[in-house]
């Protein structure tokens, strides 16, 4: 029986990926690495350490261990200053209604300092379990983040459903053995084809979720 819903954050709850991408583009440019928003969307869901490695490696650059914290701190600084993040229409009311029927969890590749700030601002007291990028060793597409969330909820895998909008996130959920709903927010529906169900667009998500309350 379905008891829990596990959400990704950026691109599912918050229209935040353009700001994340712009922050990555700017900080990479400062290090002489030229990328686009689309490059970042392709690796959405990876934790910051994995994402940073990928962005450097794609232009055959190595990143030294002592530079990680410096670059990540700068990225968070840029992202925090953009101020363009907002919840998707209907998600706040949707989550409040779902909370009456399901246990809610969050799994995101973002760092906890940013996650706590955004949840406190937009979705306070909604999520029972929160797994961030710095809580695990291997981020998405590894199954580790979703396995950790299931363990923290103390449920069986067939008792929960994942809502994801990124290819790496869908892969992570499926490798964890979980049912996954794909939402094509920033990438095409075809890139989420491994999900069990792929919605038409983000606008259809609140209605789809609320229908489950009466099931």
Q: Which runs of consecutive H residues, i.e. helices, occur in 83-192? A: 91-98, 112-122, 144-153, 167-175
**Residue with more model confidence, 215 or 31:** 31
Q: Does the structure show a pLDDT above 90 at 40?
A: no
Q: Does the structure show a pLDDT above 80 at 42?
A: no
Check residue 80 and give its pLDDT. 80
Check residue 84 and give its pLDDT. 78
Q: Does the structure show a pLDDT above 80 at 48?
A: no
Alpha carbons 117 and 79: distance in angstroms, whole number:
12
Task: Please give the angle made by the CA atoms of 88, 169 and 47, to the nearest 5 degrees.
Answer: 95
**pLDDT, mean of residues 20-49:** 84
The tens digit of pLDDT for each residue in 120-156 reads 999 999 999 999 988 998 889 999 999 999 999 999 9
In the chain, where are the structural domains located?
A: 4-16+85-214, 17-82
The tens digit of pLDDT for each residue in 96-126 reads 999 999 999 999 988 898 899 999 999 999 9
Joined together, the tokens standing for residue 110 give 């973002």
**Residue 215 pLDDT grade (very low, low, confident, very high; cuts 50, 70, 90):** low
Alpha carbons 215 and 101: distance in angstroms, whole number:
11
Alpha carbons 71 and 172: distance in angstroms, whole number:
26
**pLDDT, mean of residues 70-89:** 86
Q: Which fold has domain 17-82?
A: DNA polymerase; domain 1 (1.10.150)
Q: Does the structure show a pLDDT above 90 at 89?
A: yes
**pLDDT, mean of residues 175-187:** 96
**CATH assignment of 4-16+85-214?**
3.40.50.1000
**pLDDT, mean of residues 154-160:** 98
Q: Which letter, b or e, does each residue of 13-45 get, where b requires 16 or more Cβ atoms within 10 Å of its Cβ?
A: bbbbbbbbbbbbbebbeebebebeeebbbbbbb
What Cα–Cα distance (Å) separates residue 19 from each residue in 22, 52, 86? Answer: 5, 16, 10
């Amino acid at each position: 029986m379905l008891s829990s819903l596990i959400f990704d954050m950026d691109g599912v709850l918050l229209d935040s990926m353009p700001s994340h991408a712009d922050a990555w583009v700017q900080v990479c440019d400062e290090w002489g690495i030229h990328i686009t928003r689309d490059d970042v969307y392709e690796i959405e869901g990876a934790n910051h350490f994995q994402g940073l490695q990928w962005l450097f490696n794609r232009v055959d650059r190595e990143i030294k261990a002592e530079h990680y914290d410096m670059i990540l701190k700068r990225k968070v600084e840029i992202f925090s200053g953009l101020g363009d993040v907002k919840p998707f229409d209907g998600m706040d009311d949707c989550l409040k209604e779902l909370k009456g029927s399901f246990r809610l969890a969050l799994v995101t590749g973002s760092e906890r300092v940013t996650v706590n700030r955004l949840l406190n601002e937009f979705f306070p007291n909604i999520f029972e379990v929160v797994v961030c990028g710095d809580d695990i060793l291997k981020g998405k597409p590894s199954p580790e983040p979703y396995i950790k969330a299931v363990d923290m909820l103390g449920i069986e895998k067939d008792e929960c459903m994942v809502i994801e909008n990124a290819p790496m996130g869908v892969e992570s959920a499926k490798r964890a053995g979980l049912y996954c709903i794909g939402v094509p927010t920033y990438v095409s529906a075809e890139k989420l084809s491994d999900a069990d169900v792929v919605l038409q667009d983000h606008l259809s998500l609140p209605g789809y979720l609320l229908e489950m309350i009466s099931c």
